Structure formats: C-alpha cells, structure tokens
Amino acid sequence: MYHAIPSAKKLKERKRKLIIRWSLSFLCLISVFSLAVWILSEPSLQIKKVEVEGNKVLSVEEVRNIAEKDLSGKYLFLFPKKSSFLCPRNAIRKDILSAFPRVSSLEITLKKNTLLISLTERDSAGIWCGAEKDTETADGCFYMDGTGYLFDRSPSFSGDAYFKLYGKGILKDGKTVGHNFISAELFQKISEIRTMLEKYGKKTSGIYLGDDQLAELTVDSGCKIVWSTDQAFVPLKSNMEAVFKSSEWGKNISGKDKCAELEYIDFRFGNKIYYRQKGMEPVSKNEGSTFGEEPSATSTSKATTG
C-alpha cells in the first residue's frame, strides 16, 4: 500500500481553490456584516423619543436624560444603541434605579419609535430624622417607605405631617438614602400597634428605637408607650389592648385621657404593666400596685393584665 505524492500542479490548484473559498467566505461575511449595519441604522428603526409615565415627584426630564445618555453612541463603533433591536434596556433600568432610590419598580417598552418608561414611586410611610432621640441629623429628615427603606431627603415639616422615627436601627454609619433603617417586619409591627392605639383614641406622632431593642412610642396627648422589639408580638399587642380598653387601671388618674397624665406606660415585663404619673419620683418597679388598685402618691404603678 502506498500514497501517491500530488504533483506541483495539483498542489497549486488546491491552493488556488482554497484561497477562492476563503475569499468568498470573507466577502460573504463582510456583506452580511454591512447589511446588518445598514438595517440597524435604518432611520425608521431608530428610537426617536423617550416618554416617562407614573412619576409623581420625579422630574420627567431627569429620568429621560438618563435614558438618552444610555441610548447615545454605538456598539463597536458601528451598531447604534438607538436601534429598536439593540436598545440597552437593562442598562437603562439599572441606571434609573441607581440614580433614583425613590423608584420602586419600572418597566421599559417599545412602541414604534418611542421608548416608554413606566415607573412606580415609593410612598412615604414616615420620615427618619436621626440616630439620637428627638434630634434631627445635620441633613434633616429622610422619607421612609413601608419596608423601612430610606429613599429621599425630605423638606422640613412642622407638626405631625409625617410619623417621625429616631434611632440607629440597622443603618451603618453615614448611610441613609438607599438603605433600610429598620426591617419591613418591624415596621409592620409598629404600624399594627399604632392602628390599634388609634382605635382607643391614642394618636401617635413618633417613635425612638434605642439600644437593647428599646421602643418608645410617643402618644400625642403626652405619654410614651414602651416595649421591647424582641418581645413576642401577639401577647404584647394583646396586653396593650387589654390595658387601653379597660377602665380598671389607674383609677387615681384624673381626666378622660389617662395617657395625658403619665410619663410612660411600660409593657416590657410580660403581663405586668408599669406606668408612672408625671412629677412622680422614680422607684423600683416592685413597689407598685396591682391592676385596679390605687397607687401610692410616690410610687410607680403596676397593672396586671388578664
């Protein structure tokens, strides 16, 4: 068995055919590439307008500017980003969400030559004003949504236009907009307690969340309602409701709104509820009276629920 050695003429012919084949392939590739550039650059396929809908506070112009910046330029210096087929939707979405923490969600759609950005802004459920009790930060307060997320600086408000929150929460030093002050679960519990208190005529204006899970909720009429955020929530709420719907506790307290005469009502000790009248000297909590009894003039009172 043997292999014939191709002649020089045959080798030359093979080489010529290979060159022709590669040349034709290259020309086909260039043609397809050029055709793609031509089609993608066709004016009728270009995005000519950017529209924004769903905004309440944000400026349409600010959102549009970000989208138009992402649409400018070309891929590989050839393919226009404004082409309907090459629109960088993910980049636009990412840049808008990064620039505007107020935006909770957005959708980008194409309608002919128009890029439509439909967005949803966060609703404010309160304002966080600082790590220290009743002390605003140097930058003022910040809007917070129902998940505990800080999304924008707020203007100065007088009165109780917004529920105010204070404390460090889970914020890291220097972090505000774009971060959570507290968890959504904790804020939901606070909201449930506020709603329950309103049922008994106790409107609340602010809360301080301190170290060791301390929570101090300020009632407009004057007192503070104290509990620990790591307490079992169901019995805590049940104890609070038992106190406020009962007429048996604090009989020595004059006035229709007993809270107005108190410094605090403390729910941190299970079903032993402590309270102290304004102007009284603080004493140890084991000196108070039981639910329904008259407290002494200088003692901290104790009410037993259930």
Kindly give, in sequence order, each residue whose CB lies less than 8 Å from that of residue 108, ignoring residues fewer than 6 positions away: 87, 89, 92, 93, 115, 116, 117, 118
Domains, the chain, in order of start with CATH, read 44-121 (3.10.20.310), 126-304 (3.40.50.11690)
With a cut of 80, say whether residue 279 has pLDDT above it.
no
Average predicted confidence (pLDDT) for the chain: 85
Buried b (16+ CB within 10 A) or exposed e, 125-155: bbbbbbbeeeeeeeeebbbbbebbbbbbebe
Angle at 221 between CA 285 and CA 141, to 5 degrees: 100
Segment 196-213 mean pLDDT: 94
With a cut of 80, say whether residue 249 has pLDDT above it.
no
Distance CA 300, CA 280 (A): 8
Confidence band for 165, pLDDT divided at 50, 70 and 90: very high
Segment 3-7 mean pLDDT: 63
Q: Measured between alpha carbons, how far is residue 260 from residues 66, 202, 224 in Å? A: 52, 10, 10
pLDDT on residue 37: 66
pLDDT above 90: percentage of residues in the chain: 57
Segment 64-81 mean pLDDT: 92
Task: Return the bridge partners of 204, or none.
Answer: 219
Half-sphere exposure of 49 (CA within 13 A, CB side): 7
Confidence band for 292, pLDDT divided at 50, 70 and 90: very low
Cβ distance 150 to 143 under 8 Å? yes
- Residues 15-63 pLDDT 10s: 777 777 787 777 777 767 666 666 667 888 899 999 999 999 999 999 9
pLDDT on residue 155: 85
With a cut of 90, say whether residue 296 has pLDDT above it.
no
pLDDT on residue 298: 32
Confidence band for 284, pLDDT divided at 50, 70 and 90: very low
Residue 123, number of CB atoms within 10 A of its CB = 11
Distance CA 84, CA 119 (A): 20
Confidence band for 290, pLDDT divided at 50, 70 and 90: very low
Cβ distance 165 to 194 under 8 Å? no
Segment 238-248 mean pLDDT: 87
User: What is the pTM assigned to this prediction?
Assistant: 0.79
pLDDT on residue 49: 96
End-to-end CA distance of the chain: 107
With a cut of 50, say whether residue 291 has pLDDT above it.
no
- Residues 82-132 pLDDT 10s: 999 899 999 999 999 999 999 999 999 999 899 999 999 999 999 999 999
Amino acid at 1: M
pLDDT on residue 36: 63
Cβ distance 178 to 150 under 8 Å? yes
Distance CA 225, CA 265 (A): 5
